[in-house]
Amino acid sequence: MSKSASICLGQKPLVVVLSAAAGVTNLLIEISTKAIDSHRSLISDLVAQIKSKHDPIIRNLTLGQSDEALLESLYRDLEEKLMLINSEKILSQESLDYVLSFGEKISSILFCVLLKQLRIDKKIQLLSSEEIIKTDSNFGAATPNTEDIKRIANELIHYDEKTLYVMQGFIGSDHLMRTTTLGRGGSDFTAALMAEALNASILEIWTDVPGVFTSDPNKDACAQKLPLLSYSQAIKMAKNGAKVLHPETMTPALRLSIPIYVGSTFQPEVLGTWIRN
Ligand code: ASP
Ligand code: MG
């Protein structure tokens, strides 16, 4: 997370969209399944697993009282939801989306604390993606309503150069304010939707590999980096299983010809991939 923060200081974005911390979404899926038939007294242990997953990040942060209170209330809400799953003995996709939203809710709060600690010369404003990213009610793979998103984003975000906005990737809400998700890896898609809503000049995606490769560079030593792709090439690659980008990411960017840059958080100096016309 500190690497992402230093990229943020260098790139000076208007809006930063956060994914959950590594492994957290998978762990949330695991604990929501366990909650169905765990003994009630063990539900708090499931929440503790999520807390400890964030310990390495929190160790480097000084949390204020209000940050602590915010996190505690999130953990209470998570526990309450797991208790409910436990009493109903069923995990609906709607409940799962709500549980998964905690990954991004927690990471975005911690990222704000980190940015404030770095004394960045901007006001840090945390936004709620449940308020901005309006979707249909197709839980697990919701379709965003780009008109609503554009309207709300422009109401809440001001281009004053003095404010840095932080929000959660992957999550949104339907017309009843029920939490939805955009599908696994959906944070890229959120960022693209925001880039379109705000008519951004660039969409940057900072991930764990330095760009788009012919195959997964973490698994295949022969994988070749592709320095430049057209939108249609990138869409084809994402659909064919190149995990680096959510397949829907290119669509909003393509509509306004917003260039996309994909770079590595771990090696930001290594040239990544450009996706543009
Ligand atoms: N946290 C979500 C996932 O793991 C979304 C994302 O990382 O883009 O799928
Ligand atoms: Mg991702």
Domain of 36: which CATH number? Answer: 3.40.1160.10
Confidence at 37, pLDDT banded by 50, 70, 90: very high
In short, whether 21's Cβ falls inside 6 Å of ligand 1 is no
Tell me which residue range forms the domain holding 37: 2-200
Q: What is the pLDDT of residue 9?
A: 85
Domain membership flag for residue 215: no
The residue whose CA has the least distance to atom 6 of ligand 1 is 185
**pLDDT beyond 90 at 44:** yes
In short, whether 184's Cβ falls inside 6 Å of ligand 1 is yes
Name the residue of 19, 97, 180 whose CB sits within 8 Å of the most ligand 1 atoms, as the mutation to test its pocket. 19
Integer angstrom CA distances of residue 182 from 64, 68, 97: 32, 28, 9
In this structure, which ligand is nearest to the CA of 29?
1
Q: What is the CA(188)–ligand 2 centre distance, in A?
A: 6
Domain membership flag for residue 143: yes
In this structure, which ligand is nearest to the CA of 169?
1
Domain membership flag for residue 64: yes
Q: What is the pLDDT of residue 11?
A: 86
Per-residue model confidence as pLDDT tens digits over 73-122: 999 999 999 999 999 999 999 999 999 999 999 999 999 999 999 988 89
Q: How many domains does the chain have?
A: 1
Q: What is the CA(23)–ligand 2 centre distance, in A?
A: 11
In this structure, which ligand is nearest to the CA of 21?
1
Phi-psi region of 72 (alpha: psi -120 to 50; beta: other; left: phi over 0): alpha
Domain membership flag for residue 274: no
Domain membership flag for residue 164: yes
Domain membership flag for residue 219: no
Atom number, ligand 1, closest to the C-alpha of residue 190? 8
Cα–Cα dist 55/59, whole Å: 6
Say which DSSP state 227 is in.
Answer: S
Say which DSSP state 201 is in.
Answer: S
Cβ atoms of 85 and 94 closer than 8 Å: no
Q: Which residues does residue 123 pair with via DSSP β-bridges, in sequence order?
A: 163
Cα–Cα dist 115/269, whole Å: 21
**What average pLDDT does the structure give for the chain?**
95
Residue 198: half-sphere exposure toward Cβ, Cα within 13 Å: 24
Name the helix (H) or strand (E) containing 173. strand 171-173
In short, whether 102's Cβ falls inside 6 Å of ligand 1 is no
Domain membership flag for residue 13: yes
Cβ atoms of 2 and 114 closer than 8 Å: yes
Cα–Cα dist 149/28, whole Å: 27
The residue whose CA has the least distance to atom 1 of ligand 1 is 20
Confidence at 233, pLDDT banded by 50, 70, 90: very high
Phi-psi region of 209 (alpha: psi -120 to 50; beta: other; left: phi over 0): beta
